[in-house]
Structure 1
Amino acid sequence: MSEDLKKTASNGHVKMLIPEEQQGKINEVKKLIGPLSGKALVYCSDASISRYLRARSWNVKKAAKMLKQTLKWRAEYKPEEIRWEDVAEEAETGKIYRSNYTDKHGRTVLVMRPARQNSKTTKGQIKYLVYYMENAILNLSPEQEQMVWLVDFQGFNMSHISIKVTRETAHVLQEHYPERLGLAILYNPPKIFEPFFTMVKPILDTKTYNKVKFCYSDDQNTKKIMENLFDLDHLESAFDGNENTPFDINKYAERMKEDDKKIPSFWTREISPSSVANDVPSLDSIKLDTDSDASDNEKIVRSSDSVTNTGLMDPDQNSVNHEDRNVSAAVH
């Protein structure tokens, strides 16, 4: 294998491995984890282990430790047992919901509206977030493993956000759902939000931080980005799309209840053989782990070069390094 595929974090890149080496690392993690059964066995598919390895720069011991912590958390928290009735009160305002469309790469889209926050309890908000992460994963297509967050800041003020909840959210997502976020678009965030986001930077790992991008409706680059990522006929008008149907909690509740019925079979399914996952030009795969903070939060609306380099301007771009693809396309 060429030397450029063996670059490590010391020079600003995550180590890249050919598929055979990836599988070898996955097998090593399996040995460290030991025998599994039931839901833990279903969870620890090759694709899942691959995500933990990528999150830890293919360090087997660190990935195994991280995965063990997740298995312990899942055994205690039981996220797969949360149902709509458990979070319905949190959902009433439509502050977080799974859209009925995907982006052009087939990624599940979660819409978030922090101004519609209706709860003060950290426990309730985190439970609600976990439910939606599980639901988003449940609805991923077989060839896709990441999701997109669309955050609408209309009506937002600082009373709608909590450092404590933000810290706990970052912990749960980064430690127990690694490599699930493909891109988070913060749409029309007010000036007062930017200092807050800078303040929370230390609790975000570099890869997560680099996936968060600011977009503004009055910027032409933003419009091009949204056009290339989404079908505008399905995208909500809040993000400059053409869909004006308001959020209906009653219809949405029925949709979630139907999803809940799929959960038991999801956790008793057989794991399909490993296969190469869909090659999406996501920020995660283009802009790998870096030690430099110089352009961590560079606004995509201010730099056409950064947009081009992340592949956002061309949804058909295939410039992602093919050596760092997923080993398996299984959902978990």
Structure 2
Amino acid sequence: MSFLLKTTTAGSEPPSPSPDELQDKIMQVRELVGSLSDEMAGFLSDSTIRRFLRARNWSTQQATRALKETVRWRRHYRPERIRWDDIAEKEWEARRAYIPDYLDNTGRRVLISKPAIKAKASGKEQIKYFVYILESLAMNSADEQEHVTWLVDFRGWAISSTPLSITRESMHIVQNYYPGMMAVAILSNTPRIFESFWKIAKQFLDAKLNHKVKFLYTDKPDSHKMLLEMFDMDKLETAFGGRNTLAFDFDNYADRMRAADLARGASSLQTQIS
């Protein structure tokens, strides 16, 4: 089976704790975060703490520090209150980044990005939409494992397509406030000009996330074989070498995202503060 179907990490890591040891670590983190457990009970679930522990090599001190930093950010940004109907230029932005209605062959959620499509929203609004997607992926999953496969289609990409400032902020958010979610990031069909951009952009990544980035080219047999192992090709879009030729259904996607908002309680939260 391909390495892409496995969770890979950089360097040697301590072994996973036993169920009893893990529960002890969760309790230690809860003691260390103190009253924050009550302040953000919805966020600081056992699943979230497990995910932060895994992302921080099972260190209770490092996981606690990361969680406290994330709580400070969440107090200010309030990602749990962002709803689909709060997204600027949503009909256009959804075509640039979306969560399809299928999983990969390991059962992971899929995130698709198409940065070559020129943005209409401001940089601030692009980040807001990205956070909204991450929040939906995080809060609608009870699994603390790395549960997202990120597909990025770079066909037609140019330097102007992705400002470095947005790339840097996006990677900071993924690594620091939603750590341990991404299992693999597949950069598909990158043009030659992307090489110079990547030399700078990869400096924004920590070793773990950098190790999960894979470059694939849909016209190469080895890449096609890996995709066959990872996806149902009838569901995977043709942009990534699949056989799905259906056009993006915005209305269906909007309905799914509103349903996801209800599932994670975002709509009720918005009602409370309106």
Q: Which amino acid aligns with 1:205?
A: D
How many angstroms apart in 2 are the aligned matches of 1:266 and 1:143? 24
Q: Displacement, 1:64? A: 0.6
Structural mapping, 1:255-294, within 5 Å = 255-264=256-265
Unaligned runs of at least 5 residues, structure 2 = 1-8, 270-274
Q: Greater shift after overlay, 241-250 or 29-38?
A: 29-38
Instruction: Find out whether 1:239 has 2:240 as its counterpart.
Output: yes
The 8 Å contact of residues 26 and 50 in structure 2, kept in 1 or not, is answered as yes
Please give the secondary structure, in 1, of the residue aligned with 2:214.
strand
2:129 counterpart residue number: 128
- If asked which structure has higher relative contact order (CA below 8 Å, sep 6+), I would say 1
The 8 Å contact of residues 170 and 204 in structure 1, kept in 2 or not, is answered as yes
Please give the secondary structure, in 2, of the residue aligned with 1:111.
strand
Structural mapping, 1:56-75, within 5 Å = 56-75=56-75
Please give the secondary structure, in 2, of the residue aligned with 1:99.
coil
How many angstroms apart in 2 are the aligned matches of 1:55 and 1:133? 16
Q: Which amino acid aligns with 2:115?
A: P
How many angstroms apart in 2 are the aligned matches of 1:37 and 1:64? 11
1:48 counterpart residue number: 48
Tell me the TM-score normalised to structure 1 length. 0.72
2:35 counterpart residue number: 35
The 8 Å contact of residues 138 and 266 in structure 1, kept in 2 or not, is answered as no
How many angstroms apart in 2 are the aligned matches of 1:201 and 1:145? 20
1:190 counterpart residue number: 191
The 8 Å contact of residues 152 and 186 in structure 1, kept in 2 or not, is answered as yes
Q: Displacement, 1:267? A: 9.3
How many angstroms apart in 2 are the aligned matches of 1:266 and 1:254? 13
Structural mapping, 1:95-134, within 5 Å = 95-119=96-120, 121-134=122-135
1:301 counterpart residue number: none
How many angstroms apart in 2 are the aligned matches of 1:62 and 1:143? 17
Q: Displacement, 1:14? A: 1.5
1:86 counterpart residue number: 86
Higher helix share: 2
Could you list the per-position Cα deviations for residues 33-61 of structure 1 after superposition, in whole angstroms to 9, with x for gaps in the alignment?
01345671222222211222222222222
1:281 counterpart residue number: none
Please give the secondary structure, in 2, of the residue aligned with 1:185.
strand
Distance 1:194 1:90, change over 3 A: farther
1:296 counterpart residue number: none
Please give the secondary structure, in 2, of the residue aligned with 1:201.
helix
Distance 1:267 1:210, change over 3 A: farther
Q: Which amino acid aligns with 1:12?
A: G
1:153 counterpart residue number: 154
1:297 counterpart residue number: none
The 8 Å contact of residues 107 and 140 in structure 1, kept in 2 or not, is answered as no
Unaligned runs of at least 5 residues, structure 1 = 1-8, 269-332
Distance 1:261 1:17, change over 3 A: closer
Please give the secondary structure, in 2, of the residue aligned with 1:168.
helix
2:5 counterpart residue number: none
Distance 1:23 1:258, change over 3 A: closer
Q: Displacement, 1:263? A: 2.4
The 8 Å contact of residues 51 and 145 in structure 2, kept in 1 or not, is answered as no
Q: Number of aligned pairs?
A: 259
Identity %: 40
The 8 Å contact of residues 55 and 178 in structure 1, kept in 2 or not, is answered as yes
Please give the secondary structure, in 1, of the residue aligned with 2:133.
helix
How many angstroms apart in 2 are the aligned matches of 1:95 and 1:34? 40
Distance 1:121 1:193, change over 3 A: same
Distance 1:108 1:88, change over 3 A: farther
2:208 counterpart residue number: 207
The 8 Å contact of residues 185 and 213 in structure 2, kept in 1 or not, is answered as yes
How many angstroms apart in 2 are the aligned matches of 1:138 and 1:61? 24
Q: Displacement, 1:88? A: 4.5
Distance 1:23 1:267, change over 3 A: farther
Tell me the TM-score normalised to structure 2 length. 0.86
How many angstroms apart in 2 are the aligned matches of 1:89 and 1:265? 19
